[in-house]
């Protein structure tokens, strides 16, 4: 590869634009596809700083915001879709998103409220202290403004195709990091626009999410590992991620990620074997202070791995006074 890790994609008409975010992960990658229609994949968060960065980058490629004709969204996190309403209103661009993502885009405020209620219940049920829950509610509430809602003009399903003048993008669903993760495959170029499904330098955290039908909590890590296996089977030369540099060897990286999750599950099993623990106690044993400052993230990590252990029959759940603990199976 050249000194610019995105040079190969740029030569094929796909330009990475790095948009600033207020989040610890740093900048988010959105992709300008110079084709007909002129297409933007993801948008960045809803802020003046992000909008300015996007407009400057578009101008550097000879375009304005008003020139955009199609906006394609990869998943429901606000760093990837927050500017969608501004862009749609100023350009008239068609907005395309998966069926799983559509409710979050069209009913953003309502969905955020319901997600917050679910998150509070999950944290309390798994042992997060009440004062930490209240503090995290305040923090999460401050993030609402980074998102926005708009109408989804084109609803995408697995197997659909987005036909541009010079390329076709095949739509594939890859739930796990979020329930709405969607990837776009240019088979002729062996290229995948992957959102946060597969990131080169950090693991894509499978976050606990509210079940859409009000049923049992989805097993996010289980779903994510199944999605990784489907991606591993694809013939790819390059994955363009939602953060960081491209992934040139997706199979080796996926194997590394799977091994990481296996090791973490074993470490958590060792802790449970010592004594019964809540998910928050497990997170505290693994990450200390981070289990308080990033309680929902670390809780998601732990519950993903306890799901693997419960499914394997190695660990059981035991509830007492509304709080769940994990015990080693006899």
Cα separation, 221 vs 112, whole angstroms: 22
What is the per-residue DSSP string for 228-281? HHHHHTS--SEEEESSSS-BS-HHHHHHHHHHHHHHHHHHHHHHHHHS-B-HHH
pLDDT in tens, 115-140: 999 999 999 999 999 998 988 887 77
Segment 61-95, tens digit of pLDDT: 999 999 999 999 999 999 999 999 999 999 999 99
* Cα–chain center distance at 6: 21
The number of domains in the chain is 2
Residue 280 and residue 247 share a domain: no
DSSP-derived letter for residue 95 is E
Q: What is the pLDDT of residue 62?
A: 98
Q: Looking at the structure, do residues 196 and 240 belong to the same domain, yes or no?
A: yes
Strands 94-98 and 70-72: parallel
Question: What is the residue range of 65's domain?
Answer: 7-105+146-257
pLDDT for residue 2 is more than 70: no
Assess whether 73 and 182 both reside in one domain: yes
Q: Does residue 262 sit within a domain?
A: no
Token couple for 305: 């791995």
DSSP percent split of the chain into helix, strand, coil, nearest 5: 45, 20, 40
Which residues have a Cβ under 8 Å from the Cβ of 66 and sit 6 or more positions away?
Answer: 90, 91, 92
Q: Is 214 domain-assigned?
A: yes
Residues 58 and 41 in one domain: yes
* Whole-angstrom distance, CA of residue 280 vs CA of residue 194: 31
Residue 316 belongs to a domain: yes
The verdict on residue 264 lying in a domain is no
In a domain, 2, yes or no: no
The yes-or-no verdict on residue 96 having pLDDT over 90 is yes
Is it the case that residue 142 has pLDDT exceeding 80? no
Using one digit for the tens of pLDDT, what is the confidence trace for 242-293?
Answer: 999 999 999 999 999 999 999 999 999 999 999 999 999 999 999 999 888 8
Q: What is the mean pLDDT of residues 167-177?
A: 97
Least-confidence region, from 33-42, 54-63, 228-237, 283-292: 283-292
């Amino acid at each position: 590869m050249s000194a610019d890790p995105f040079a190969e994609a740029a030569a094929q008409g796909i330009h990475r634009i790095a948009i600033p975010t207020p989040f610890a992960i740093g900048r988010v990658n959105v992709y300008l596809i110079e084709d007909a229609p002129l297409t933007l994949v993801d948008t960045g968060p809803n802020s003046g700083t992000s909008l300015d960065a996007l407009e400057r980058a578009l101008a550097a490629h000879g375009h304005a915001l008003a020139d955009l004709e199609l906006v394609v969204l990869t998943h429901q996190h606000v760093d990837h879709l927050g500017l969608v309403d501004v862009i749609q209103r100023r350009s008239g661009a068609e907005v395309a998103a998966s069926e799983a993502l559509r409710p979050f885009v069209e009913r953003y405020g309502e969905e955020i409220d319901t997600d917050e209620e679910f998150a509070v219940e999950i944290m309390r049920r798994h042992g997060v202290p009440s004062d930490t829950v209240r503090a995290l509610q305040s923090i999460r509430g401050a993030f609402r403004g980074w998102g926005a809602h708009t109408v989804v003009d084109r609803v995408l399903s697995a197997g659909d195709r987005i036909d541009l003048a010079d390329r076709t993008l095949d739509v594939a669903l890859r739930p796990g990091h979020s329930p709405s993760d969607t990837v776009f495959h240019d088979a002729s170029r062996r290229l995948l626009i992957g959102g946060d499904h597969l990131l080169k330098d950090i693991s894509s955290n499978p976050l606990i999410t509210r079940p859409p039908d009000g049923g049992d909590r989805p097993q996010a890590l289980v779903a994510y590992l199944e999605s990784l296996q489907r991606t591993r089977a694809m013939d790819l030369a390059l994955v363009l991620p939602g953060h960081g540099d491209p992934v040139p060897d997706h199979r080796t990286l996926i194997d590394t990620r799977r091994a990481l999750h296996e090791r973490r599950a074993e470490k958590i099993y060792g802790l449970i074997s010592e004594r019964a623990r809540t998910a928050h106690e497990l997170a505290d044993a693994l990450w200390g202070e981070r289990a308080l400052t990033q309680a929902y993230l670390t809780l998601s990590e732990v519950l993903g791995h306890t799901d693997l252990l419960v499914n394997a029959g190695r660990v059981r759940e035991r509830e007492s006074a509304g709080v769940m603990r994990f015990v080693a199976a006899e």
